[in-house]
A and B are shown apart, each in its own frame.
Chain A
């Protein structure tokens, strides 16, 4: 007992000794909790999320505050925050559009304002490679300077693109702050995002006559990349792909999933119908993600960030089942 106490005291002391305080928004999500568990060994982590944090490690302080409230600034006043990791992007296509927009864009711009006012040294946004958008004229591998065209077809993705742009302009406006935007491809794991949910289906619907190459990345590789991006000197936009790309049909085969090919027009109509009946939370325009390629070149992350996926293709794909059938 005393040993653990001492250990935790020693840890507190160590935290007190260095000023590495990192603020993580959206810490209660699947990915946020993983990031917190990963980071709290080396630095003092403060969490910001409306939701609850079950099984929170003792040395993490968690504040249940709405991102849009003025009280958020109190955290900046109280702690010497060195870095902000913004994971608190709301993506719930079923949710209220207005609510979404004020949360995502309003919340982030406030966060950026506080960051610049309180001399934060590092700002990390977890964006997504989806901001480029799946399009028939895409090059097989998109660079970081490719235009963000996802919002053209998907009004639901407009928020995400806008966030990315907002942080980009912040990058130019405050050159003294090291701003990092991470754009990972489809994150797989116990997280509840669209690609993981899709691959957890026993019978996956696919589009008849389409079979695009897909890149996936393991959730813990993303967590490690976030940690890497907190190192001093790292700044800029980084695409992140995991193991080599694979065509959708091969992915489903590897996971032993049955799939039902549906003609595109029928699928679009059906998904729209189901959507209006509130039977699916999958927006019809996002069908393009299983229709066209949206792949990225992550050479920059490998060279400058020192990012290297630790999980191979099988591990990454099987990660979607891990939570349900623990080994």
Chain B
């Protein structure tokens, strides 16, 4: 026998072996895919596609969004971050039915060193509200100068933080999220957790000018995700950051991840205000009222909380 003919005889069996192996691998991968799909469905919920479709239809009916929102991107964004919402922070939602249809301002406390609370609130409105809503939030102006980030945040429906944009979005019956504490709130040290900082007043002027209801929101759980013991203001100023909190847990391996606290979100009843947006005193009084309402919601939520993590 020549070498060539022996190879010929061996070929079919070798081919068969490879085919068997391939089939086995295919079985395995399809099995793995099935498991992955199951897991995804368990995290995303059975109605994920329905929710995405509702939002797609909603924006298709309104005509293409002039701010550049792309429902496909919000769907992908929700899909990629659902794990944080459902599994990592296991968000518990109370009173979401208070969010009225149409224009509204969600006013929440800001905490947690990095703005995960904004993300979780957006996911809450996507996964837990009926019907689902997208949150349009305001982002810093300098974000527009960042390549890749700028078009991404625009497609996710976030807009440059100038009052005129907010005004237009409310006129288009959108849902706006604002943290009137701003950076002051988010960089609070652990010792001042759940104590509200001074509120900015811009949101109230917009609420009065557009006659939008204000929904007070308390986010509980974000304060404990990164324990900050202080803020290096001089260092932050030196490198041009808004703040530089001292977070010891970052030293630990894996400490870059936030602690898996349990998020609890309380939506209060919508507050309807009337008045002249140019009247300083009226605006200040109404802002104070909103602040008090959120503080009350926070106290109420904290009283019912038995454990930070469960």
Contacts and interface: CB of A to CB of B under 8 A. Distances in A.
Contacts of A207: 147
Contacts of B147: 207-210, 263-264
Interface string A147-159: 0000000000000
B151 A210 contact: yes
Contact of B151 (A139, A209, A246): A209
B47 interface: no
Interface string A199-225: 000000001111111000000000000
Nearest to A263: B147
Contacts of B150: 136, 209-211
Interface stretch (B23-31, B138-146, B218-226, B245-253): B138-146
B160 to A, nearest CB: 7
B154 interface: yes
Contacts of A292: 144
Contacts, number: 58
Given A213-B68, A244-B64, A247-B68, A140 B160 contact: yes
Contacts of B148: 208-209
Given A209-B151, A210-B150, A213-B154, A140 B144 contact: no
Interface in B167-205: 168
Contact of A247 (B151, B160, B164, B165): B151
A227 interface: no
B254 interface: no
A327 B41 CA distance: 52
Nearest to A141: B168
A281 interface: no
B66 interface: yes
A79 to B, nearest CB: 44
A140 B168 contact: yes
A136 B141 CA distance: 6
B160 A139 contact: yes
Nearest to B141: A137
A138 interface: yes
A132 to B, nearest CB: 13
A245 interface: yes
Given A141-B164, A209-B150, A213-B154, A136 B144 contact: yes
Interface in A290-317: 292, 295
Nearest to B143: A136
A246 B150 CA distance: 15
B243 interface: no
Contacts of B68: 213, 247
B148 to A, nearest CB: 4
Contacts of B162: 137, 139
Contacts of B288: none
B160 A136 contact: yes
Contacts of A213: 66-68, 154
Contacts of B66: 140-141, 213, 244-245, 295
A139 B154 contact: no
A263 B148 CA distance: 11
A314 to B, nearest CB: 13
B160 A246 contact: no
A69 B149 CA distance: 52
A208 B146 CA distance: 11
B12 interface: no
Contacts of A138: 160
B159 A140 contact: yes
B240 interface: no
Nearest to A208: B147
Nearest to B166: A139
Nearest to B159: A140
Contacts of A244: 63-64, 66
A140 B142 contact: no
A205 B182 CA distance: 38
B121 to A, nearest CB: 22
Contacts of A143: 164
A89 B144 CA distance: 32
Contacts of A246: 64
Contacts of B149: 209
Interface in A121-150: 136-141, 143
A312 to B, nearest CB: 12
A212 B162 CA distance: 17
Contacts of A208: 147-148
Interface string A246-261: 1100000000000000
Contacts of A295: 66
A137 B64 contact: no
Nearest to B64: A244
Contact of B165 (A139, A210, A245, A263): A139
Interface string B64-89: 10111000000000000000000000
Nearest to B168: A141
Contacts of B63: 244
B165 A140 contact: yes
A211 B68 CA distance: 10
6 contacts: A136-B142, A140-B66, A209-B148, A244-B64, A292-B144, A295-B66
Q: Which 5 A-B pairs have the closest CB atoms?
A: A209-B147, A136-B144, A209-B148, A211-B151, A139-B164
Given A139-B162, A140-B164, A141-B66, 19 more contacts: A136-B144, A136-B150, A137-B144, A138-B160, A140-B66, A140-B67, A140-B160, A140-B165, A140-B168, A143-B164, A207-B147, A209-B146, A209-B148, A209-B151, A210-B150, A212-B151, A263-B147, A264-B147, A292-B144
